[in-house]
Amino acid sequence: PNLKGAYWYTPQRLDRIIEMERYLESLPETGKVLSIATTYEVAKKINDGPLSYVQLMLLASFIPDDLRSQLVSPYLSDDGRQIRISVRVVDSYKGLNRNQLLEQIRADMLEKFDLQPEQLNLTGAMVLYNNMLQSLFDSQIKTLGYVFAAIMLMLLVLFRSLPVALISMVPSLVSAASVLGLMGWIGLPLDLMTITITAITIGIAVDDTIHYVHRFHEELPRDGDYRATVRRCHGSIGKAMYYTSLVIIAGFSILALSNFNPSVYFGLLTGLAMLVALLSNLTLLPALLMSVKPKLRAGPTTNMAE
């Protein structure tokens, strides 16, 4: 007979496992819960009552190999000393917070069933996915910090003016903040797709900002009039920014036709971020340049085109 795992086949231990199962099933975020006690519950129904210790030993010893591979082996460690409880999580549950759920399960299992921390180990695909998401959140903050610092340094080198560099950062900040704020408002969580939106938006939006400020730098020496310079910039580089941004928005919006929801969110939110960036570059950026009136390096006369 196969006695691996027979240690667990006593009425007291199996009843304790059943209590754990019932607790896990009581959580609104969970679905089906399976363990070696599932077989015991089926056997009780067939037997019209609890099984004796001897009956449990016979059950543990003489389960056919084909049934053992389905009913016992998945829920026991190789040496039979540890049990596994399989819990299905309803990923479509509204308001699912994976990290909070895992912390709740750990705390409740330790408290309700008098377990030691080393006796409980949460594993599985959801745990790995949650760990990945937590690392993404941490890396997102660091990445945005590094990106803005690098762009700020590049703008300082390019325009040689701290006020101009700070003003040039505003459209990217507004665009990224708008999209992240909208995601938080509608309750859309960060995942592998949506977490890349801000980085992509910043990279594309800053291109238009550099083009506009560089054109502004070339046009201003003509008459020194900031308002007239803005009009000339809108009539030249502004049109190019408008059409190129519309093409980019249309390109990302094609993803809305996808059957994969993360791709849909990615396409629509990136398109929205580019639209906000375009509006910021054509309204907020020139308004700041006219209000602050930063000193710009005079452009060469050969570049003073109409």
Residue 302 has pLDDT above 50, yes or no: no
What gap in Å lies between CA 109 and CA 113, rounded to an integer? 6
Report residue 263's pLDDT band, with 50, 70 and 90 as the boundaries: confident
DSSP, res 190: P
Decide: residue 128, CB within 10 A, 0-12 exposed, 13-18 middle, 19+ buried: exposed
111 CA to centre of own chain: 31
Report residue 285's pLDDT band, with 50, 70 and 90 as the boundaries: very high
Mean pLDDT of 294-299: 61
Residue 190 has pLDDT above 50, yes or no: yes
pLDDT of residue 74: 78
Lowest mean per-residue pLDDT among 52-61, 68-77, 188-197, 289-298? 52-61
Report residue 56's pLDDT band, with 50, 70 and 90 as the boundaries: low
Nearest residue to 264 via CA among 272, 253, 248: 253
| 33, containing H or E segment | strand 30-34
Mean pLDDT of 11-27: 87
Quote the tokens at residue 143. Answer: 């990445």
Note the pTM of the prediction, 2 decimals. 0.62
Report residue 6's pLDDT band, with 50, 70 and 90 as the boundaries: low
Task: Decide which of 7 and 210 is more confident.
Answer: 210
pLDDT of residue 176: 86
Q: Residue 86: beta bridge partners?
A: 34
pLDDT of residue 24: 92
Q: List C-alpha distances in Å: 293 to 75, 251, 286.
A: 71, 36, 10
Name the residue with tokens 């190999």: 65
Mean pLDDT of 258-276: 88
- Residues 6 or more apart whose CB falls under 8 angstroms from that of 213 comprise 159, 164, 167, 168, 285, 289
Mean pLDDT of 165-178: 90
What gap in Å lies between CA 213 and CA 210, rounded to an integer? 5
Quote the tokens at residue 281. Answer: 């570059």
Q: Which amino acid is at 70?
A: Q
Report residue 51's pLDDT band, with 50, 70 and 90 as the boundaries: low
- Residues 6 or more apart whose CB falls under 8 angstroms from that of 208 comprise 171, 241, 244, 245, 277, 278, 281
pLDDT of residue 52: 66
Name the residue with tokens 């700020």: 152
Residues 241/223, Cβ–Cβ less than 8 Å: no
What gap in Å lies between CA 76 and CA 54, rounded to an integer? 21
List the alpha helices (DSSP H) in 28-95.
36-47, 53-61, 65-71
- Please state, as a whole number, how many other Cβ atoms lie within 10 Å of the Cβ of residue 145: 10
What gap in Å lies between CA 146 and CA 39, rounded to an integer? 54
Domains along the chain?
6-123 (no CATH), 130-303 (1.20.1640.10)
| 280, containing H or E segment | none
pLDDT of residue 59: 63
pLDDT of residue 69: 67
What gap in Å lies between CA 194 and CA 200, rounded to an integer? 10
pLDDT of residue 1: 45
pLDDT digits (tens, 9 = 90+) for 29-50: 998 888 877 777 777 776 666 6
